[in-house]
A and B are shown apart, each in its own frame.
Chain A
Amino acid sequence: MIRGFLAVLAVLLIIGSLMLGTPFVGVNRLFAGGIEHIVVVELRAPRLLLGLLAGGALGVAGLMLQESLRNPLAVPELLGVSGGAAAAVTVCVVFGLTVPGAPLLPAVAGAAVGAGLTLLAVRGAVGPEATLLIGAAVSAALQAVLLAASALADSRDQGVLVRYLLGSLTGTDWADVLVVGIALAVVTPLAVLCLPSLKVLRLGDEAAASAGLNAGRARVVVLTVSCLLIAVVVGFCGPIAWIGFLAPQLARALGTASAFWSMVFGALLVVAADLAARTVLYPIELPVGGLTAVIGVAVGILVLSRRRRRVPA
């Protein structure tokens, strides 16, 4: 029942993303020739595909972070991962540095630095909340680096700033889709290989040990792969804030904390949010990450305030 509903929703969203906007392209004219065809094929289709890819990757990466750290709020935005990747790419873009493999390699390096800083800072802290707060402090510092770089370079390109602060799909072309697609095609098999150990890790370190799994090593592998997934997305679209939290949360609400459903929800959320972002205030285009941040965090606060009420500390 719910799966049928989701499938219908997915089809509607995909067709809607191709049709809606200015100019409106009727469903009968989607594959007809002319200027409308160019709008659909050259502008809307790559944007839709990149949204699906980015959302799916973030959904899976978020699930991997949360299950392996056993913390429902372990999101890229609060662990310095997104912040590091975004800061690195912004520095390259605003200073016009020519780095080989940009923006992919700087994003991966930045994510590694951000995650490493958080890991270093977290040493000696007790409990999931302290980890998140420390990650948030690292993320805030990295965001300050991002903003300082953009101020230092006297960058007038506010689009870059918005993209790497929140995430946006504005100006996507087929070249972006191709690179992201290839990068994800490389990382996805690694993620699939991680899934069995993820199932054990979520049960706790002792269960993992009794199942013959080196929990520490397995966790490092899972975290590395999720950082790779996040870095690929951030390099091209920015963090698309809080999808890595929302998608697994929805999958859990459905009763399955599975990577597949997390991916599906991530992809659909990004496409839906981007559709809203580019049509609601037309001709002004909002950053898709702004919408997902506001909605995602609101859900996060609700989840937290409900969870604790049931189990008084």
Chain B
Amino acid sequence: MKWLIPMVVVTAVLAFVQLLTGSSMSPVTALAALFGGDGTERQIIVELRAPRVLVGLGAGACLGVAGTILQSTLRNPLASPEVTGVGSGAILGAVVATTIGSESPIEMVVLALLGGMLGGGVLWLVASLRGSDPLGLAVIGVLLSAMLAGATLILLTARPQLAGAMTQWLVGSLNGRTWEHWSALWPFLVIGLAGAFLVTVVLGVLAVDDDHAKAVGVSVTPWRIVVLMLAVLTTSVAAATTGALVFVGMLAPHAARALVGSDQRVALPLSALIGAATVAAADIVAQNASLPAGAVTAVAGAVVMIHVAKRTSAATVGGMR
């Protein structure tokens, strides 16, 4: 438990700094406005910055949960929304929703969910065909993501009027997030987080091995499907509301595990917090350089992924030799 409370504080501080960061006014003015400044400045904070911060925290927490679930359930330290096809599938779904002219964020989340299920389903199929060594499956997941991203770009080109939002989908950003996005996000966030916390015990059992799970009376396949659906749900909500915040779902679970080990009851909430804090920190950096937040997380996450790939390769390939 010892890391949870400090992490709540870190996340809160980062979120507060994020609330004060922005191009329209200096942090000092923002601070003054927060405690009863004049109309416009206060309005900017309440109508523009607050939903931005909340959507970022929510999406980050979702991705942290999704990454933890994927990594423990698939027993693959490399699994993450980006390396399983779930993330790109969800983006494809959200872009399909915009292509058919859907305005409501709920429809977008539902289609993202279908897309995420498609991506995850294909990976599941391939895994059952060829067996699932961690590195090989991750390579297939990367390929699958590339394919779904290609399809997404075809859709975006086929509808030139949507192409303006292209960057937004391919590398997520919190620009222009409103209370409408937050109201689409929070019900699913609550469902996803509550569901994930309810199944942490199962998660811990599935992470060990199937025989162990059977021995303690967990029916493996149904539970794995339930748990993976939670991962798809949380990934899709994040994708539909922010676009691809690349590698947050890779980074957060590894950071959490490095801090507290593999006890899911602590690691899962910690990963959610780290995910939220990562997005807040990335957005602070991104806003100061007027970059999309997803670009910052992509570069930071790539470093983590390289490190994990090396360690996994040393453990599995080296171990066989």
Complex interface: chain B residues within 8 A of A127 (CB)? 135, 313, 317
Stretch at the interface among A59-67, A129-137, A177-185, A189-197: A129-137
CB distance from B307 to the nearest CB of A (A): 9
Whether the Cβ atoms of B139 and A304 lie closer than 8 Å is yes
Residue B314 lies at the interface, judged by CB distance under 8 Å to chain A: yes
Residue A11 lies at the interface, judged by CB distance under 8 Å to chain B: no
Stretch at the interface among B97-105, B144-152, B229-237: B144-152
Residue B171 lies at the interface, judged by CB distance under 8 Å to chain A: yes
Residue A309 lies at the interface, judged by CB distance under 8 Å to chain B: yes
From B139, B166, B167, B295, contact of A133 by CB (8 A)? B139
Stretch at the interface among A42-50, A263-271, A293-301: A293-301
Task: Give the docked Cα–Cα distance between A2 and B58 (Å).
Answer: 57
The answer to whether A290 and B153 touch (CB under 8 A), given A132-B139, A134-B306, is yes
Whether the Cβ atoms of B154 and A291 lie closer than 8 Å is yes
Whether the Cβ atoms of A147 and B170 lie closer than 8 Å is yes
Whether the Cβ atoms of B129 and A290 lie closer than 8 Å is no
The answer to whether A134 and B309 touch (CB under 8 A), given A147-B167, A284-B160, A304-B136, is yes
The majority secondary structure among interface residues of chain B is: helix
From B138, B143, B171, B301, contact of A147 by CB (8 A)? B171
Closest B residue to A123 by CB, please name it. Answer: B310
Whether the Cβ atoms of A158 and B306 lie closer than 8 Å is no
Complex interface: chain B residues within 8 A of A290 (CB)? 150-151, 153-154, 157
Q: How many residues of A contact B (CB 8 A)?
A: 54
Whether the Cβ atoms of A287 and B133 lie closer than 8 Å is no
Whether the Cβ atoms of A151 and B131 lie closer than 8 Å is no
CB distance from A288 to the nearest CB of B (A): 10
Residue A124 lies at the interface, judged by CB distance under 8 Å to chain B: yes
CB distance from B270 to the nearest CB of A (A): 23
Complex interface: chain A residues within 8 A of B130 (CB)? 304-305, 308-309
Residue B29 lies at the interface, judged by CB distance under 8 Å to chain A: no
Complex interface: chain B residues within 8 A of A78 (CB)? 142
Whether the Cβ atoms of A133 and B143 lie closer than 8 Å is no
The answer to whether A140 and B139 touch (CB under 8 A), given A130-B310, A284-B157, is no
Complex interface: chain A residues within 8 A of B136 (CB)? 129, 304, 308, 313
The answer to whether A241 and B150 touch (CB under 8 A), given A152-B291, A162-B157, A286-B157, is yes
Which residues of chain A have a CB within 8 Å of any CB of chain B? 73, 77-78, 121, 124-127, 129-130, 132-134, 136-138, 140-141, 143-145, 147-148, 150-152, 156, 158, 161-162, 165-166, 241-242, 281, 284-287, 289-291, 293-294, 297-298, 300-301, 304-305, 308-309, 312-313
CB pairs A–B below 8 angstroms (10 shown)? A143-B171, A144-B171, A150-B167, A287-B153, A290-B153, A294-B154, A297-B144, A304-B139, A305-B130, A308-B130
Which residues of chain B have a CB within 8 Å of any CB of chain A? 78, 82-83, 122, 126, 129-131, 133, 135-136, 138-140, 142-144, 146-147, 149-151, 153-154, 157-158, 160, 163-164, 166-167, 170-171, 173, 246-247, 289-292, 294-295, 298-299, 301-303, 305-306, 309-310, 312-314, 317-318
5 extra A-B contacts, CB within 8 A, seeds A133-B78, A147-B170: A132-B142, A136-B139, A137-B301, A140-B247, A144-B246
